[in-house]
A and B are shown apart, each in its own frame.
Chain A
Amino acid sequence: MKEISVRAGGQAGDGIASVGDTIAKSFSRMGLHVFGLNSYQSVIRGGHVWFQARAGAERFYSQGDGCDVLYALDLQTAEVHLPTLRDGGVVIYDPEKFQIDPSKIPVGVSALEVPTLALARKHTPQSILQNAAGVGACAYLAGIPLPLLHEAISDSFGKKKGEVVDWNLACAADGYAHAQSKRPPHPHAVALAGPPKMLMTGNQAIALGAAAAGLKFLAQYPMTPASTIMHWLAAHSMETGVVVKQAEDELAAIHMAIGASYGGVRAMTATSGGGFSLMVEALGMAGMCEIPLVVVESQRSGPSTGLPTKTEQGDLALMLGAGQGEFPRAILAPSSPAEAYRAAVQAFALAENWQTPVLLASDLYLSESSATVELAEIDFKVPIPSLRLEPGNGNGHSGEYLRYRYTESGVSPRSLPGQRGLQWTAASDEHDEKGHLISDVKSGIPHWVAERKRMMDKRMHKLEGLAREAEPPVQEGPAQADLTIVTWGSTIGPVRDAMKILAAKGRKVNLVHFPTVYPVHHERTMALLGAARRTLLIEANFSGQFGRLLRTETGLHLTDRLLKYDGEPFYPMEIVGRALELLDGR
């Protein structure tokens, strides 16, 4: 398989993100599949950040292992990343900035010196322009045609024109020409593969999916890695017709979303674990009052503030247990931007149809990595289930309106402020069919004790419907396998890539994953896992939280595990290694 990975690294503030964007966009415009990984730290200046764009004609699902072209803006980048260069790899650097000890360069790897600063000085003393020369050299080595690179650079300046844009274009051309004068492209250099593809991050896909599904109101408080959902929707507020409110805190954010939903619009909030912890009480209120709500929980490494710019799947137990008492909820966990778009659409349908909160579990790795998507995967023609409203004036025995009327499914038609004659009061206290409190003067009285149980049963019954309507677990790979990998969420990506490597080695490995993490689809899970020869549970957390859920829900105990909680995403070869250990009985 012909593919190439280009990595650029330096300090925060060096412009690494825009280097990465330009290269990734050039690849996707060549019709290639792309995966862009952005690795950064919780500092605004300094430190070490890097970006990698992997590109190839065949579909893949992760950043892969290692890289082929490394553009080092500082010595630390060279030191950290030289060992990840694969055979035939090239490190690009400017000897005017630092020297690389030749003994540190791995066998099979070569160095390409590019005078980026000198090339930039031809135009301006501002050193940021050096990146354009570096990008030009990278593009040449990777097989990106210069006109295509130029287009990507101009577009990155938007409508801006003028000498800065011209300098960048000229400098990129100089870097390109310099590399060309020194050596042939990398042997894995890619070629045009078809019409341009779209490149987007998980968060952009979530924002698009939500808007396509009818989102009208987003309230959010900034927190990495969820913030870019708000950024994208705020930037497109008028075009999408979505009101975006930056709230004073996450408590306000979720309550605003609940209020808006009660008021008659599809509403969402998004946050990470810290903010979600603040939303816990409100989540239960949405469950109790039976108000549709979508909450995006993009996880990062915990506990507490943890590693704010590093990934983890450590909040599953929190999402499952958030809120006092019990109420129905669903948790969806997509693994790629394309799946995230679909999951956002599903989340709104489930929330509306079952009048309860639906959590969309993402994490930094999915939210902030970019990947190519096909046009058909981002189809705006999605079903928007209509609000389940009471059509008449009342539905009770004597014509009154019972907001929480007992029904077969547990869902009762609601009414919106403005609907005449259907007034009701949403109450976080336990209530009867009318919505009247049974928590004060009625509590403990036998009739109302029975009523309380009935109302709990009504609400909790919705879990069955949710399980029926949500996407069941999926098997990928051969039906019969010697090893079945079980995983969820963003970790599915690296697992899929590992499976390809294992298949190429002639190993029979398949994958069972859970687009709906909760409620667990019992039958289908048992059908897929009950008879598995051997299983391997893979999760990005310390204790195997999903494994614990599976055991509770199905009795299946997955004892072989690969758990990672160092903040970094899984790399396919780590998974291959663990799978081979199990397969070979080591």
Chain B
Amino acid sequence: MADSTLAAIAPTVTPLKMVVGKSDTKPTWCPGCGDYGVIASLEMALKKLQLPPEQVVIVSGIGCSSNLPQFLNAYGFHGIHGRSLPVAEGIRWANHDLHVVVTGGDGDGFGIGAGHFVHAMRRNVKLTYIVMDNQIYGLTTGQASPTSMMGHKTKSTPEGVIENPIDPIALALAAGATYVARGFSGDVKHMAELVANGLQHRGFAFIDALSPCVTYNKLNTFDWFRQRIYKLESAGHDPKDIGQAYARSLEWGEKIPIGLFYRAERPTYEELEEVLAAGPLAHQSTGLLGKERLLEEFR
């Protein structure tokens, strides 16, 4: 039987068309957590693009931030720690009609999942990846993360961190990402703009979302960021220029840039995978009936 997966679906009553909004599960984050700003900006971006919830899948790993998919009414996949990206890639390749958003923490994405991060970017899979970067491990109650700054005293580094932090922006540029941005949870509208543009980007869109952990990170607080951030778009930055993007990515300290660092045009993995030219995989026929000539090589 050569059935097509989705042809089998015949809803008896079609519910009204909706746009993505909140689910009936309330966020469980600490009051004041930066992640509230991130989910607000994501919701705003999805609404702006009028995306129906059944066409959106939000994928995450494990961490405070990774709880996000539970709180919106789209499809969701709240998987295991560090593995959100490969799950999201699989979903995209199964059905590239879908908008796939990936959310998670800096530990999830740059620590345990760092390998997947680099490879997803070089592939230019069309995904919107938002990392809620709080420079700490929240859910496990405050250990150092790959973006914790030198000297930062945490539960696992009582004398201060003694290794250099990862620079997610520079890493993304080096890995060949085609949309590299940084937002700040304290400026929801600005971040929503970055996310909305990321959702429309042809390929992998990475948004490093500065999202303070008010409970475990007493160093990189909302105030700390407010004193330092500035917007690239008001500083004459040209996001088409990778040299400028690299230079700006190195700024971290007195001044911290937010906005779009880099954007490039490149075909997506899905566009280059020949089998997908025939349409989303989930809509293609299955089985080998009628393809008996495949057996010729064995004779």
Contact = CB atoms under 8 A, between A and B. Distances in A.
A418 B54 contact: yes
A145 interface: no
A393 to B, nearest CB: 5
A285 B60 CA distance: 13
Interface stretch (A177-185, A214-222, A474-482, A573-581): A214-222
Interface of B: 1-3, 5-6, 8-15, 17, 25, 28, 52-59, 62, 67, 69-70, 73-80, 83, 85-95, 97-98, 115-116, 118-119, 273-276, 278, 281-282, 284-292, 294-295, 298-299
A323 to B, nearest CB: 11
A421 B15 contact: yes
B22 to A, nearest CB: 12
Nearest to B97: A418
Contact of A392 (B12, B28, B56, B93): B12
25 contacts: A199-B298, A204-B298, A219-B86, A236-B294, A237-B274, A251-B116, A255-B83, A255-B87, A256-B93, A260-B93, A263-B92, A265-B5, A375-B295, A380-B290, A384-B1, A386-B3, A391-B12, A392-B12, A392-B13, A393-B15, A417-B91, A418-B54, A418-B95, A423-B76, A426-B79
A198 B295 contact: yes
B159 to A, nearest CB: 32
A458 to B, nearest CB: 19
Contacts, number: 248
B287 A255 contact: no
Contacts of B73: 423
Nearest to A219: B90
A326 B276 CA distance: 37
B298 A387 contact: no
A241 interface: yes
Contacts of B87: 255-256, 258-259, 262
A376 to B, nearest CB: 12
A586 interface: no
A29 B296 CA distance: 12
Nearest to B13: A393
A426 B58 CA distance: 10
Contact of B294 (A208, A259, A423, A429): A208
B155 to A, nearest CB: 21
A251 B83 contact: yes
Given A257-B90, A423-B54, A240 B294 contact: yes
B11 A391 contact: yes
Contacts of B54: 417-423
Interface in A74-125: none
A379 to B, nearest CB: 10
Contacts of B91: 259-260, 262-263, 417
> 4 closest A-B pairs (Cβ-Cβ)?
A259-B90, A263-B94, A425-B76, A255-B86
Contact of A428 (B62, B97, B116): B62
Interface stretch (A302-310, A433-441, A461-469): A433-441
B287 A198 contact: no
Interface stretch (A7-15, A242-250, A503-511, A558-566): A242-250
A426 B76 contact: yes
Contact of A243 (B56, B93, B118, B292): B93
Contact of A417 (B2, B55, B275): B55
Contact of A285 (B67, B80, B274): B80
A420 B10 contact: no
A281 to B, nearest CB: 6
B294 A264 contact: no
Given A252-B116, A392-B11, A214 B95 contact: no
B299 A428 contact: no
Nearest to B12: A392
A198 B289 CA distance: 18
Q: Which applies to chain B's interface (DSSP): helix, strand, loop or mixed?
A: mixed
Contact of A260 (B94, B274, B289, B292): B94
B274 A256 contact: no
A258 B90 contact: yes
Nearest to A259: B90
Chain A contact residues, majority secondary structure: mixed
Nearest to A248: B119
A128 B149 CA distance: 60
A29 B79 contact: no
A492 interface: no
Nearest to B15: A421
Given A198-B299, A217-B94, A260-B91, A384 B287 contact: yes
Contacts of B92: 259, 263
Contacts of A251: 83, 86, 115-116
A294 interface: no
A467 B62 CA distance: 33
B83 A265 contact: no
Given A392-B11, A441-B28, A216 B286 contact: yes
A264 B287 contact: no
Given A262-B87, A386-B8, A427 B15 contact: no
Contacts of A262: 77, 87, 90-91, 94
Contacts of A245: 89, 93
Nearest to B56: A417
A7 B39 CA distance: 66
A236 B278 CA distance: 16
Interface string A188-230: 0000000011111000100010011111110100000000000
Nearest to B269: A245
Nearest to B60: A425
Contacts of B294: 208, 236, 239-240
Contacts of B86: 219, 247, 251-253, 255-256, 259
B299 A196 contact: yes
Determine which residue in A197, A198, A383, A417 has the highest number of CB atoms from chain B within 10 A of its CB, and name it: A417
B295 A418 contact: no
A212 B289 CA distance: 7
Interface in A309-353: none
Nearest to B69: A425
User: Which of A213, A263, A421 has the most chain B CB atoms closer than 10 A to its own CB?
Assistant: A263
B70 to A, nearest CB: 6
Nearest to B296: A198
B93 to A, nearest CB: 6
A258 B86 CA distance: 9
Contacts of A249: 115
Contact of B78 (A216, A247, A418, A426): A426
Contacts of B94: 216-217, 259-265, 267
Contacts of A381: 289
A69 B8 CA distance: 57
A237 B5 contact: no
Nearest to A425: B76
Most buried by B among A237, A249, A373, A426: A426
A406 interface: no
B282 A263 contact: yes
A1 interface: no
Question: Which of A219, A249, A373, A418 has most chain B Cβ within 10 Å?
Answer: A418
B281 A393 contact: no
A382 interface: yes
Which of B6, B54, B67: most chain A CB closer than 10 A? B54
B115 A252 contact: yes
A283 B212 CA distance: 33
Nearest to A372: B298
Given A258-B87, A440-B28, A241 B284 contact: yes
Contacts of A236: 294
Contacts of B15: 393, 420-421
B282 A420 contact: no
B298 A264 contact: no
A552 to B, nearest CB: 28
A531 interface: no
A282 interface: yes
A214 B4 CA distance: 10
